[in-house]
Structure 1
Amino acid sequence: MGTNGRTWLALTLAMATLAGCADDDSSEQDSDRDGVVDAMDCAPGDGTRWRFLAGHVDADLDGVGAGPSLQSCVGQRLPAGLSPQGDDCAPADASRWRVLAGLYPDVDNDGATGEGPVSACVGDTLVGYREQPGAPDCDDNAPRFAASTQLWPDADFDGIGSGEPISHCAGRDLPRGYAAVDGDCAPDDRARSTWRDYTHRDADGDGFTVPEEGRVCSGMTLPAGYALEARGLDCDDTNAAGWQERTVYADVDGDGFGSGDPVMRCTGRTAPPGYALDSVDCAPEDATLWQWRSYAHRDSDGDGDTVPEQGVTCSGAALPPGHAQWPTGHDCDDRDATVMVTWHVYPDDDGDGFGAGTRQTFCAGRQIPMGYSAVNTDCDDAAPLRWRLLAYSHRDADGDSFTAPEEGAVCSGMALPPGHATTPRGNDCDDADPSIHTTVQAWTDADGDGVGAGDAVALCTDGTVPAPWSAQGTDCAAEDTARWRQVAYAHVDRDADGHTHPEAGTVCTGTSLPEPYFTQATGNDCDDTDAARYRWTVLYPDMDGDGVGTSPRTTPCIGAQTPLGFSLKGYDVDDSDASIQEDPEDDLMVELILD
C-alpha cells in the first residue's frame, strides 16, 4: 500500500506542476521540449506528442482500420489501435482485412466448392475460399458431404421410390418419405415394389403349378401362386382339391372305401365325392361295414366276457359286438350270461374286504360271493379296521407331533395309525420326551445380556433357546452386560474439548456409542491430545505487541485465545514500533487528493 501511495503522490504533484506551467503566457515556450512550441503543440505537456494525424480505428490491430477518419494528437506515427488505411473489411477479425474477387467458397475445406466466383473478405491466407473451383459441394459446412445424388418420393416407405426426383447430399440421412432407389411398381403398397418374372403358376393355391410365363409386381420374393420352377404338374389349377391323376373306385355307401372297376380322376389328398382310393369294401351298400377283420375271442352270451375263438368278419372301424381281438375277462360259461368269472377267493371272516386262509374257486357273476375276498393279505382277520401292512419311515413315539427317522411296517387300515408316518414332521431330537423335540444352536450367555459368546452347542429343546443360553453368539464382551456388539464410529474426541477429529473404526458397546466416539463430526480438532487446542488459524508475528502483525504468516493449531506475540491482522508496516502500523505517506497522499 505504501508503494501505491507514493505513485499517487507523484502523479498529483506532476498534475499540479502542469497546472502551474499552464499559467505561462510565453508564445515561444516549449514546455515538453519536443521541438514544437506550446502554441503549435497539440500536447504541450507531453514530449511524445506534438501534431495531429488522421487515422482510422484499428480495433483488431491488424494494421488496417475502419470507420471514419479521426484526427489524433500523436508524435512520429499513429499509435497502435489507429491506422492511416481505413478499408478493413473485417474490423473485429485480425486475420482478415482485404476484399479479394474471383474466389470460390470452401468453408469445410474438403476441396469441393460452392457457387462462384465471389468476392470475399480475407487476409494473408484464403481460409474458407479457393482460387480455383473444385467439384460442386452440396453442403459447404460439412466436409463429409460434397457430392449430390438424386432421391425419389417413397410414399409407402418400402425403400424404393418413384416419381419426380429431388437433389440430395450423398452421405446425409435420407429425408423422410424419400428413397435412393427408383422404380417402385406399386408406390402405395409397401409389400410390393419390384417387377419380377415367373415361369409357373399355382392359381388355386394347392402347392402344385402349371407352366405359365409372365411378370408380376412383387416384394423381395415372388408372391404366393408364382414360381420360377415347377412344383409338380397340376391336373386342374382351378380346383385346390385336385392336382394329380389317380386311380379311384366307386364308393356307393360313402364310407370312404370303394369297389368295382378302377377309373382315373384328378384328385388331391383324398378322392373326389362318390369315389374312394381303396377298393376293399366288403359291404358296398352298408356304410358301417367295409373291411374284413380277424378276431380271436367271442362273447356269444353277451355278458361282456369272452372265450377264445379265431375267425374273420366284415367290419367297420371296429369289430362288431360279440367279436374281439383281445380277451375281455375269461368267461367260465359262455352259454349263461349271469355267470362268467372264475373266482379264486379266500374266506373273509371279519367282512373288511380282505381274506385269509385257503383259496377256493367259483364260476359266478361279476361280484365276489358274500363272505369271500380275492385278496388274502389280511394281517388281522379278527379286526375289520386292520387288514394290511403299511410301511412307515418316521415315528412319533412320544406323541408331540414331531417325528424321528425309523423304518418298519404296521398292520393297519386305509392309513397309518397315529405315531407312524411316511414323511417327516420336524426331526425329534428326543422321541421319548414330548416336551422337547427341536435341536437349536446356542451360545453361553454368561452376563445375561441376551447375546452369547464362545463355541456354539446343540441343545434339544421345545424350539426356543433356554436361559442361560442365547441364539446369538456375537457378544464382544462376554462378562459385561452393558456391552455386546461392535458399533462403527467415524470421529473421536479423545481430549474431551467438544471438538472431534476423523478416525474410523469399531468399538464394543451396547445400545449407543460411548464417549469419546461419534458418528457425526463436531468441528475438526487439529490436536486431539490437548483440550486447549482445537482449531487451525492464520496468524502473523506481532513483535511490538500493538495488536497488528506482519509477514510471514503461519497457520498454527490454537484454542479460543490468540497466543501472545501473534495477531489475526497482518498489515503492520513497522513491527518494531507499537505506535506505527500504517505508512504515513499513504496518509499524505490521501490528504493531498482530498485538498
Structure 2
Amino acid sequence: MGTNRKTWLVLTLTVAGLLAGCSPEAGPTEEDTDGDGVADAADCAPGDASRWRLLEGSADDDRDGVGAGAMREVCAGERLPEGWSQQSGDCAPGDATRWRERAGLYPDQDGDGATAEGPVTGCVGEPLVGYREQPGAPDCDDNAPRFAASIQLWPDADFDGIGNGEPISHCAGMDLPRGYAAVDGDCAPDDRARSTWRDYTHRDADGDGFTVPEEGRVCSGMTLPAGYALEARGLDCDDTNAAWWQERTVYADADGDGFGSGDPVMRCTGRTAPPGYALDSVDCAPEDATLWQWRSYAHRDLDGDGDTVPEQGVTCSGAALPPGYAQWPTGHDCDDRDATVMVTWHVYSDDDGDSFGAGTRQTFCAGRQIPFGYSAVNTDCDDTAPLRWRLLAYSHRDADGDSFTAPEEGTVCSGMALPPGHATTPRGNDCDDADRSVHTTLQAWTDADGDGVGEGDAVALCTDGTVPAPWSAQGTDCAVEDAARWRQVAYAHVDRDADGHTQPEAGTLCTGASLPAPYFTQATGNDCDDTDAARYRRVVLYPDVDGDGVGTSPRTTPCIGAQTPLGFSLKGYDVDDSDASIQEDPEDDLMLELILD
C-alpha cells in the first residue's frame, strides 16, 4: 500500500505496453483527460488530477484524525482527503479535543479537584479534560467549581432560620431551599418568634417590672421573653399582683381621702398604698374625707357674700381652702357682717335714669349693683333728658333741615350719635342755612327776552339747584331783546330770489332753533343769478335765425330759466341758418356713412 503515484504510472504504462506487444491487433492508448497517468476508464475522478483511486475511510468532521461512523470508499489520491480518516471509532465526532474512550476515570467536569462518583468510562483526548485518574474529595455539584462539599439541612417550617427533624444533604454555598435551615435545634418548630432554649435566673410573673429569684430555662427567640431575666430588677414583694411590688411604711386612712394618721405599719405596696392605708400621715381630719391638710389663708368672707376682708391664719382643708377662706382677695367687703352689702360705691345722682350721673360725688356701702338713681359716671351733660348724656363734636350744621350743610364747628349734648342737623362730614355746601328752599350757589345771566339764554355779566345766585326766572344758566344770547333769536349759526348757501336754487355764500347769523330763509347749510342747485327768480342756470345755446330748431355758431352760455329763449337752440349743427328746410350737409352725411361702413 506504499506505492506512490509515479510507481503506479510506470506499472500502468508497462502493462499497457505488454498488452500492446502481445496483441498485434491492439488499438491506440486509452484517453487520460486530467493527465494524472490513469486512464479515464479507471480514474474515479477523470477531471481531477489530484484524485484517481478509491480508498476506505471514515468521516472526521472535527479534524482530530479519528473518524466516526462506518468505513466507506472515498475517491482519493495518494491519501484520503481532509475530513476523512483511515481510523474509525471517534467517541466525540464534534469535539476535536476528545476521540477515545477510557475506563477507570473519575469525573471532574468543573475542574475544582473534587470528583463525582466513579470510576466511570469517559470520552477523552490526550489530556484527561473533565476527568481524573484518581478520585478527589466528593463533589456535590460537578458543574460548578464553587460548590463541592455537602452539608446537612433541617426542615424549617416556621422560617425562623433554625430547623428541626430529619436532615437532608445540600451543596455548601448554594442558596438554601425554601423551608430548610442550616442550623438544628428549634425548640418551637411552629412558632417563628421562639427557637432557642435560654436560661434565666429571675422571674416577673405579674409584669410589673420587678423580679423575684427563680432559675430555669425557656424556649425563646434572640432574647429572653418578657417576664424572664438574667439579673434582678428590684425585689417584688408580691409577684402575683402587678399593683404591688415594694414594702413601704403606710398609715391607716379611715376616711379614704388618701391621707392617713396614727402609727406606721409595713405593707406590700405599689405606686399607691393598699385600700385603707395612705403613704402620708398628715390628715388633720381623719374622719372627714373632704379635709386632710393644713392650709394658710390671708382673707376671710364671714358673711358668705363672696367678698373678703384681710385676715391671716391656717385651717384644715382639702385640695383647696374651704368656703369663707381665701389666699387672695375677692373684692373688698365694706361690711363683712351683712351679706347684702359689700362694695363701697362712689356715685353721682342720675335723675333721668340714663346711667350717667351729675352733681356732687357720694360714697356708701351697698350691694354689687349701683343703686337705682345713681351712676358711677358723672359726664351727663343734661340730667333731665335720658337720651342725652355726653358732648359730641361736630364740624357741619344743617340748621334749616334741607339736608345740605354749612361749615360750623362746635359740641352738642347728645346720646350715641349726633342729633339731626349736626354732622362730622359735609353734605353739599348750603349757601343759606336759614332758608330750606335754597342751598346751592349757581352762576346766572339776565334773560330779558325770556328765551332761556341770558347775556351780560354773570352773577352768583343761591338756588334750589336750578336757575330761577328771569335768569338763565347760559350767557350767550346774540339778540337780547328778541326771544326768537339767541344763538349764532353758520350758513354756507343763500337763495335771495326764492327760486329754490342757492348760490355759495359763507357767514353766521343770529337765529333761533333753525336758520331762516334764504340761508341754508346745504346747497340746492347752483343759481347763476340770485337776483332774478326767472333765471337760475347757465346753458350752451346757438343762434337759430331761420327758426328750424337747430342753430349755428357762435355759441353762447347765458343765464336762463326753465325755457330756451326765442331765437336760440340747444343744437348747433345747422349748415344753412337762413333756410329752415336745410340743416345738415349731404356730403357730411355721406362721409359719416363711409366712416360707419
CA distance 1:100–1:345, change in 2 (3 Å): farther
Deviations 1:466-496 (A, max 9, x none): xxxxxxxxxxxxxxxxxxxxxxxxxxxxxxx
One-letter amino acid of the structure 2 residue matched with residue 33 of structure 1: G
* Counterpart in the other structure of 1:220: 222
Deviations 1:142-200 (A, max 9, x none): 22222221111111111111111111122222211111111111111111111111111
Deviations 1:509-554 (A, max 9, x none): xxxxxxxxxxxxxxxxxxxxxxxxxxxxxxxxxxxxxxxxxxxxxx
Matches within 5 A, 1:91-240: 91-240=93-242
Mean CA deviation greater in 140-149 or 294-303 = 140-149
Between the aligned residues of both structures, percent identity stands at 82
One-letter amino acid of the structure 2 residue matched with residue 118 of structure 1: V
TM-score, length-normalised on structure 1? Answer: 0.55
User: For 1:352 and 1:114, how far apart are their aligned partners in 2?
Assistant: 120
User: For 1:137 and 1:354, how far apart are their aligned partners in 2?
Assistant: 115
* RMSD over equivalenced CA pairs, Å: 3.6
User: For 1:257 and 1:85, how far apart are their aligned partners in 2?
Assistant: 117
Mean CA deviation greater in 327-336 or 50-59 = 327-336
CA contact (8 A) 1:112 1:135 kept: yes
1:40 aligns with 2:42: yes
Unaligned ranges ≥5, structure 2: 1-26, 382-386, 394-415, 418-423, 426-597
User: For 1:144 and 1:383, how far apart are their aligned partners in 2?
Assistant: 109
CA distance 1:45–1:227, change in 2 (3 Å): closer
User: For 1:369 and 1:339, how far apart are their aligned partners in 2?
Assistant: 11
CA distance 1:159–1:296, change in 2 (3 Å): same
Matches within 5 A, 1:180-579: 180-343=182-345, 363-368=365-370, 372=375
Q: CA deviation at 1:55?
A: 0.9
CA contact (8 A) 1:27 1:39 kept: no
One-letter amino acid of the structure 1 residue matched with residue 323 of structure 2: P
Secondary structure in 1 aligned to 2:57? Answer: strand
User: For 1:216 and 1:372, how far apart are their aligned partners in 2?
Assistant: 86
User: For 2:130 and 2:392, how far apart are their aligned partners in 1?
Assistant: 110
CA distance 1:336–1:198, change in 2 (3 Å): same
CA contact (8 A) 2:356 2:389 kept: no
* Counterpart in the other structure of 1:62: 64
User: For 1:130 and 1:355, how far apart are their aligned partners in 2?
Assistant: 129
CA distance 1:206–1:385, change in 2 (3 Å): farther
Q: CA deviation at 1:120?
A: 1.9
One-letter amino acid of the structure 1 residue matched with residue 92 of structure 2: A
Q: CA deviation at 1:39?
A: 3.6
Q: CA deviation at 1:53?
A: 0.6
User: For 1:78 and 1:375, how far apart are their aligned partners in 2?
Assistant: 146
Q: CA deviation at 1:346?
A: 8.7
CA distance 1:150–1:254, change in 2 (3 Å): same
One-letter amino acid of the structure 2 residue matched with residue 220 of structure 1: M
Secondary structure in 2 aligned to 1:113? Answer: coil
Q: CA deviation at 1:80?
A: 0.9
CA distance 1:202–1:64, change in 2 (3 Å): same
TM-score, length-normalised on structure 2? Answer: 0.55
CA contact (8 A) 1:210 1:234 kept: yes
Secondary structure in 1 aligned to 2:217? Answer: strand
Unaligned ranges ≥5, structure 1: 1-24, 388-412, 420-595
Q: CA deviation at 1:278?
A: 1.7
CA contact (8 A) 1:198 1:216 kept: yes
Q: CA deviation at 1:348?
A: 9.8
* Structure with more contact order per residue of length (Cα contacts < 8 Å, sep ≥ 6): 1
One-letter amino acid of the structure 2 residue matched with residue 289 of structure 1: L
User: For 2:179 and 2:378, how far apart are their aligned partners in 1?
Assistant: 86
Deviations 1:223-264 (A, max 9, x none): 111111111222222222222222222222222222222222
CA contact (8 A) 1:245 1:266 kept: yes
* Counterpart in the other structure of 1:4: none
User: For 1:349 and 1:94, how far apart are their aligned partners in 2?
Assistant: 137
CA contact (8 A) 1:258 1:279 kept: yes
Deviations 1:276-323 (A, max 9, x none): 222222222222222222221111111111111112222222221111
* Counterpart in the other structure of 1:78: 80
Deviations 1:488-508 (A, max 9, x none): xxxxxxxxxxxxxxxxxxxxx
Q: CA deviation at 1:107?
A: 2.5
CA distance 1:192–1:354, change in 2 (3 Å): farther
CA distance 1:383–1:179, change in 2 (3 Å): farther
One-letter amino acid of the structure 2 residue matched with residue 73 of structure 1: C
Mean CA deviation greater in 204-213 or 119-128 = 119-128
Secondary structure in 2 aligned to 1:199? Answer: strand
